[in-house]
Amino acid sequence: MSGAATSGVDVFELGSEHEQVVFCNDSATGLRAIVALHSTALGPGLGGTRFYPYASTDDAIVDVLNLSRGMSYKNALAGLDLGGGKAVIIGDPAVLKTEALLRAYGRFVQSLNGRYYTACDVGTFSVDMDHIARECDYVTGRTVAHGGAGDSSVLTAYGTFQGMRAAAEQVWGEPTLAGRTVGIAGVGKVGRHLVRHLIEDGASVVVTDVHAPSVEAIRAEYPQVTAVATTDELVASEIDVYAPCAMGGAISDEVLDVLRATIICGAANNQLAHPGIEKQVAERGILYAPDYCVNSGGVIQVADELEGFSFERAQQRASGIFETTRQVFELAQADGITSAEAADRLAERRMREVGRLRGIHL
The reply to whether 328 sits in an annotated binding site is no
186 is in an annotated binding site: yes
Q: Measure the CA–CA gap between 158 and 1, rounded to whole angstroms.
A: 36
Residue 86 is a catalytic residue: yes
What is the DSSP pairing of strand 49-52 with strand 20-26?
A: unpaired
Asked if 8 contacts 58 with a C-beta cutoff of 8 angstroms, the reply is yes
According to the annotation, is 355 in a ligand binding site? no
Cβ burial, residue 298 (10 Å; 0-12/13-18/19+): buried
> 21 and 34 in contact (C-beta within 8 Å)?
yes
Whole-number Å distance between alpha carbons of 252 and 185: 14
Q: Which runs of E-coded beta strand occur in the chain?
A: 20-26, 31-39, 45-46, 49-52, 83-90, 116-117, 181-185, 204-208, 226-227, 241-244, 263-264, 287-288
Neighbours of 357 (CB within 10 A): 8
Q: Looking at the DSSP assignment, which residues form a beta bridge with residue 257?
A: none
Q: How far is the C-alpha of 135 from the C-alpha of 52, rounded, in Å? A: 22
Of the residues 74, 86, 97, 279, only one is catalytic, namely 86
Cα–Cα distance, 78 to 160 (Å, whole number):
13
Confirm or deny that 182 is annotated as ligand binding. no
Instruction: Please indicate if the annotation marks 127 as binding a ligand.
Output: no
Tell me: is residue 21 an annotated ligand-binding position. Answer: no
Residues making up the annotated binding site are 186-191
Residues making up the annotated binding site for NAD(+) are 186-191
Which positions are annotated as active-site residues?
Answer: 86
